[in-house]
Structure 1
Amino acid sequence: METKCDNESNETVPQSDDTNGEPKQEMSKKQMKRLQRHQKWLDSRPEKRRQEKERKKLKAKRLREEGVEVMSRTALKKQYIPMSSSKCKVSVCIDCDFEDYMEEKDMKKLVKQIGRCYAFNRHSSAPVQLYITSVVSKVREVLTKCQPGFTNWDAVCLDSHWTQVFTDKSKIIYLTSDSEDVIPDPKDIVAANDYVFIIGGLVDHNKYKGLSVPYRQAVRHSVRSEG
């Protein structure tokens, strides 16, 4: 009986020798297709960027015609308030101590979300004190690759675990949907201005649903958990 092979087979394709006269490692058809897709994406980036710039120009023009003030990037940068000068002293810490629970693709999504959090805080009129902890090993590698400028961020990025940074447990709250408690009244948070909120840096697509990983972190370190 004949067996059909699909186009995604792992059949290897011989590669030509490199410049040193040594044979290159054989590449499967699946790997070649993945490489071709990636190259196609790289080739399309300049055009996509051009189209995005054009869309932004048209949007800005439309807003001006509607009488809406549109600020330039330079003007926006002048409005940036350094974290150290912010009137808000509430700390928000992204706990990246979940490397063992994520694949590399999940870490990339986490890093993308961290970048968005930073950008939002950077443009805030009263930025929080943003911390990113346990930035080690694979997490640091992915962060360096996907956000190469993170070392210049107006945020505190540390190798240390958050328990080594924040010591007053009465002010620490680990945010998790698994907790039955709720966060304090916003008025109390603003009045105290010294709370520390920990967010579990975990992207797992409910792979570990029921394990309550961030919740167990809070219990293990004897801090409040609220959601």
Structure 2
Amino acid sequence: MTGEAVDQPDLTPERESSTVAPTSRPPRAPLPEGMSRNAWKRDQKKQKWLEQKDARNKYKKEKKKQKKIEKKEQQSSQSDRGDNETNEKMEGNIVGSGSAAVVKRVRNDMVVRAPITILIDCGFDDLMTEKENQSLSSQITRCYSENRRAIVPVNMRITSFNGRLLERFNSVLKQQYKHWKGISFSPTEYEVPESDEERSRIIYLSSDSDETLTVLEDNKIYIVGGIVDKGRYKSLCLNKANSQKIKTAKLPISEFIKISGRKVLTTNHVVEIMLKWIELRDWKKAFELVIPPRKQEGFESARQKRKRQGSLQNEDSGSDAEDAHDYETSPAVLDE
């Protein structure tokens, strides 16, 4: 064997060229005339969102259905446990626990309504601004909610339920009122009986009345003016009641509590006070539980306290924003 070098075959596989031909992008769709590319992208995104809307709604519906089933099962379980506990009478529905009280809500089929009707007169639609009308719709919703949660609920009626108020309940509030229980809605005004005896069962609440309400009587109808006007219309409810020969009365606020600022409350606060009186038979407690502390005389806000202590000595001595808060109110509620 000679020492000559023998050429070995090159077994290394040939490497592909590292240069890769760039992939060609599909041509961009032509933009609509007068539209920028960003605007076109937003439009495409919106179209895609709309195309997927049905699928999203279906998913949400299924999820809501599942949650409803789970909630029902949970309530059923809690109800079964409650049935094994000590029976409670209607009057004994509040069970003491140390310094606190645990309020147990009786089942819907056991609720006994007081033989009293609270009627909200909404016949002032044309006297309110759009914003005031929106506030009234919120107050009516709150009235229903408070009556539904009340220990002793009452019969509730809404009259003159028409115009912008009805339109808002049907559109923005999605007709939820149609599923409410223990309340009736009428597009027309309440009916005024012809006989004096029947009319004597009706009392229209007005802060301008000379009569003061002392108790809420069974089989009576108490009308609350459903209006948010910030005090623009003086004696509005009183004049309406007088023209219909209906009795009027004001809540006995001054006898039990001192109010600072404007002596008016929202429609829902009036209803809440009446519900609390029916439950507690105590005007003072009812007022104190419902009327916001900032409206009660002697209440000192944190800002006022700081000012009194001298930290606001260099600040303008104008009225406090909190004290000057202008409530959206019904004029048919407080006495002077």
Instruction: Note closer, same or farther for the CA distance 1:114–1:127 as it changes in structure 2 (3 Å cut).
Output: same
SS of corresponding position for 1:178: coil
Q: TM-score, normalised by structure 1?
A: 0.59
SS of corresponding position for 2:171: helix
Q: Is residue 124 of structure 2 the alignment partner of residue 102 of structure 1?
A: no
The separation in 2 between residues aligned to 1:90 and 1:147, in whole angstroms, is: 28
Q: Is residue 164 of structure 2 the alignment partner of residue 141 of structure 1?
A: no
Note the 1:155-174 alignment, pairs <5 A. Answer: 155-163=183-191, 168-174=198-204
Where structure 2 has 5 or more consecutive residues not aligned to the other structure, the ranges are: 1-33, 36-97, 251-336
The separation in 1 between residues aligned to 2:147 and 2:199, in whole angstroms, is: 24
Instruction: Tell me the CA shift for residue 150 of structure 1.
Output: 0.6
Instruction: Tell me the CA shift for residue 165 of structure 1.
Output: 8.5
Instruction: Tell me the CA shift for residue 134 of structure 1.
Output: 0.5
Note the 1:119-198 alignment, pairs <5 A. Answer: 119-148=145-174, 149-154=176-181, 155-163=183-191, 168-183=198-213, 185-186=214-215, 189=216, 192-198=217-223
Amino acid at match of 2:249: E
Percent of aligned positions that are identical: 26
Instruction: Tell me the CA shift for residue 226 of structure 1.
Output: 0.7
Instruction: Tell me the CA shift for residue 177 of structure 1.
Output: 0.3
Whether contact under 8 Å (2:193, 2:199) holds in the other structure is: no
Q: 2:257 corresponds to which residue?
A: none
Return 137-146 or 120-129, whichever deviates more.
Answer: 137-146
Per-residue deviation, residues 34-64 of structure 1 (Å, max 9, x unmatched): xxxxxxxxxxxxxxxxxxxxxxxxxxxxxxx
Instruction: Note closer, same or farther for the CA distance 1:135–1:166 as it changes in structure 2 (3 Å cut).
Output: farther
SS of corresponding position for 1:147: coil
Instruction: Note closer, same or farther for the CA distance 1:141–1:182 as it changes in structure 2 (3 Å cut).
Output: same
Larger Rg: 2
The runs of at least 4 consecutive aligned structure 1 residues that moved more than 4 Å come to 66-71, 164-167
SS of corresponding position for 2:203: strand
Instruction: Tell me the CA shift for residue 81 of structure 1.
Output: 3.6
The separation in 1 between residues aligned to 2:194 and 2:148, in whole angstroms, is: 22
Q: 1:221 corresponds to which residue?
A: 244
Q: 2:226 corresponds to which residue?
A: 201
Q: 2:8 corresponds to which residue?
A: none
Amino acid at match of 1:197: Y
Note the 1:71-90 alignment, pairs <5 A. Answer: 79-81=106-108, 86-90=112-116
The separation in 1 between residues aligned to 2:194 and 2:186, in whole angstroms, is: 12
Amino acid at match of 2:188: S
The separation in 1 between residues aligned to 2:159 and 2:194, in whole angstroms, is: 11
Whether contact under 8 Å (1:80, 1:125) holds in the other structure is: no
Per-residue deviation, residues 192-218 of structure 1 (Å, max 9, x unmatched): 51010000001011122x3x1111110
More helix by share: 1
Instruction: Note closer, same or farther for the CA distance 1:86–1:69 as it changes in structure 2 (3 Å cut).
Output: closer
Per-residue deviation, residues 5-58 of structure 1 (Å, max 9, x unmatched): xxxxxxxxxxx89xxxxxxxxxxxxxxxxxxxxxxxxxxxxxxxxxxxxxxxxx
Q: 1:48 corresponds to which residue?
A: none
Whether contact under 8 Å (2:113, 2:155) holds in the other structure is: no
Where structure 1 has 5 or more consecutive residues not aligned to the other structure, the ranges are: 1-15, 18-65
Superposition CA RMSD, Å: 2.9
SS of corresponding position for 1:217: helix
The separation in 2 between residues aligned to 1:172 and 1:126, in whole angstroms, is: 21
Higher relative contact order (CA 8 A, sep 6+): 1
The separation in 2 between residues aligned to 1:166 and 1:202, in whole angstroms, is: 26
Whether contact under 8 Å (2:203, 2:222) holds in the other structure is: yes
Per-residue deviation, residues 58-115 of structure 1 (Å, max 9, x unmatched): xxxxxxxx997889xxx85xx3546x95240100000000011101110110111111
Count the aligned residue pairs: 151
